[in-house]
Amino acid sequence: MLVIGITGASGAPYAKRLLEELASRKLRFSVVSTEMGRKIFEIETGVTIDSLSNKLGFRHFDSGELDSPLASSGFPLSGVIIVPCSLKRLSSISMGYANDLLDRIAVNSLRTKRKLVLVIRETPIGEIEIENMLRASRAGAIIMPASPGFYHRPREVEDLVNFVVGKILELLNLEHELYERWRYDEY
C-alpha cells in the first residue's frame, strides 16, 4: 500500500492529480494530511480531500491520528509520497522528528529502507533547506523538486501538473502517458 502525504505547501494540484491517477489504476493507497494541507488543498483545487476520498475510494487520515495502523514500522507499505512537501515537513523528517502520523510514517520508511519521495514545492531554497535535503537524501529519501520541464511544449497549467505527476509515477515504476518523454531521435 502507498501513503500519500499532503502538507501545507502550495502545490495541491499535484497531489490531486496523483490521487486521481492512482485511483484510476485501482491501486491501494491512503492519504495523510496536515490541517494546513487540507486548507491549501481546498483553496487550490476547489474540492476537499474528504470529498475526493468519497469519490475515489481511498482512506484519509489526519496527521494527528497517531493511533492509526500506519504509524507502525511493521505496517506493509510499498512507499510514501509527500506531495507537496513543505520545508517544515522536510526539516522534521531530515532530523528524524516523528511529531505526528505523517512524520512517523516517513521516518519509519527511512528506517525500514522503503521508498520515500519528498516533492518539494517551495522556493527559493536556502542553505538550511539544502542541508535538510542532503540529510534526508543520505537517509534514503528521494528529493524531487516540483520543477516541470518544458520540452514537451506545455500549453496549459494541467500540462505542467501532468509532467510532475508523471515523474512521480516513474519513481513508482508505473507507466503513464501524462506527457511525451524526451525523444533523442530528433538530434
Single-letter amino acid, residue 59 = R
Strands (DSSP E) found in the chain: 2-6, 29-33, 59-62, 79-85, 115-120, 142-143
Least confidently predicted of 4-8, 73-77, 83-87, 91-95: 73-77
| All domains in the chain, ordered by first residue | 2-186 (3.40.50.1950)
Q: How confident is the model at residue 181 (pLDDT cuts 50, 70, 90)?
A: confident
How large a percentage of the chain has pLDDT more than 70? 98
10-37 pLDDT per residue, tens: 999 999 999 999 999 999 999 999 999 9
Long-range contact list for 174-181, CB < 8 A, 24+ apart?
Answer: 174/25, 176/21, 178/21, 179/152, 179/154, 180/152, 181/152
Q: How confident is the model at residue 71 (pLDDT cuts 50, 70, 90)?
A: very high
Q: What is the pTM of this model?
A: 0.95
Q: How confident is the model at residue 85 (pLDDT cuts 50, 70, 90)?
A: very high
Q: How confident is the model at residue 115 (pLDDT cuts 50, 70, 90)?
A: very high
Q: How confident is the model at residue 78 (pLDDT cuts 50, 70, 90)?
A: very high
Cis amide bond preceding 124, omega within 30 = yes
Predicted local confidence at residue 186, as pLDDT: 58
Residue 126 parent element (H or E): none
